[in-house]
Amino acid sequence: MTNTTSVTAREIDEAFLSLENVAKRTPLECDHYLSLKYDCNVYLKREDLQWVRSFKLRGAFNAINALSKEAQQLGITCASAGNHAQGVAFTAKEMDLKAVIFMPVTTPNQKISQVQFFGGDNVEIVLTGDTFDACLQEALAYTKAHDMNFIDPFNNVNTIAGQGTVAKEILEQSQSLDVEFDYLFSAIGGGGLISGVGTYFHEKSPKTNVIGVEPLGAASMHASIQKGEVVTLESLDKFVDGASVGRVGDITFNIAQKVIHDYIQVDEGAVCSTILDMYSKLAIVAEPAGALSVSALEQYKDQIKGKNVVCIISGGNNDINRMKEIEERSLLYEEMKHYFILNFPQRPGALRQFVNDVLGPKDDITKFEYLKKSSQNTGTVIIGIQLKDHNDLEQLLENVNAFDNRNIYINENKMLYSLLI
Each residue of 94-120: pLDDT tens digit? 999 999 999 989 877 778 899 999 999
Confidence of residue 73 (pLDDT cuts 50, 70, 90): very high
Residues 247 and 162 in one domain: yes
At 339, is the pLDDT very low, low, confident or very high (cuts 50, 70, 90)? Answer: very high
Burial 387-415 (b: 16+ CB within 10 A, else e): beeeebeeebeebbeebbeebbebbeeee
**Residue 61 maps to a domain:** no
- Sign of CA pseudo-dihedral 142, 147, 149, 155: positive
pLDDT, tens digit, for every residue of 373-417?
Answer: 666 778 899 999 999 999 999 999 999 999 999 999 999 998 999
> Are the C-beta atoms of 373 and 346 separated by less than 8 Å?
yes
Q: At what angle do helices 192-204 and 9-18 cross, to 10 degrees?
A: 120
| 3-state helix/strand/coil string of 170-190 | HHHHHHHHCCCCCEEEEECCC
Q: Tell me which residue range forms the domain holding 277.
A: 9-55+157-326
Do 87 and 21 share a domain, yes or no? no
Structural domains counted in the chain: 3
Of 258, 293, 218, residue with least CA distance to 31: 293
User: Does residue 144 have a pLDDT over 80?
Assistant: yes
Q: Are 224 and 307 part of one and the same domain?
A: yes
On whether both 33 and 134 belong to a single domain, the answer is no
Q: What average pLDDT score do residues 360-385 get?
A: 87
Q: What pTM was computed for the model?
A: 0.92
**Of 49, 56, 125, nearest in space to 84 by CA:** 56
Average the pLDDT over 30-59 and give the result. Answer: 98
Kindly state the percentage of the chain with pLDDT values over 90.
Answer: 85
Residues 351 and 374 in one domain: yes
Residue 1: is its pLDDT beyond 50?
A: no
Helices 192-204 and 250-259: angle between axes, nearest 10 degrees: 30
Cα–Cα distance measured from residue 263 to residue 54, given in angstroms and rounded to the nearest whole number: 22
Q: Are 12 and 199 in contact (CB under 8 A)?
A: yes
Question: How remote is the C-alpha of 369 from its chain's centroid?
Answer: 34
